[in-house]
Amino acid sequence: RKEGRVTVQKMERKEKSESPPQLYDLTALQRDANRLFGFTAKQTLEYTQSLYEKKLVTYPRTDSRYISDDLIPDVKKFIKLISESGKYSDRAKNLLDKGLNLDSRIVDNTKISDHHALLPTLNAAQDISLSENESKVLDIIINRLLMGVDSKYRYTETSYEFWCEDITYDPVFRKAVDMGWKAYCPNAENDNAQSLSLIH
Active site residues: 59
Cβ neighbours, 10 Å, residue 40: 11
| d(C-alpha 52, C-alpha 67), whole Å | 17
Q: DSSP secondary-structure letter at 107?
A: B
| d(C-alpha 6, C-alpha 14), whole Å | 23
In which element (H, E) is residue 35 found?
helix 26-37
Do the Cβ atoms of 44 and 137 come closer than 8 Å?
A: yes
In which element (H, E) is residue 94 found?
helix 89-98
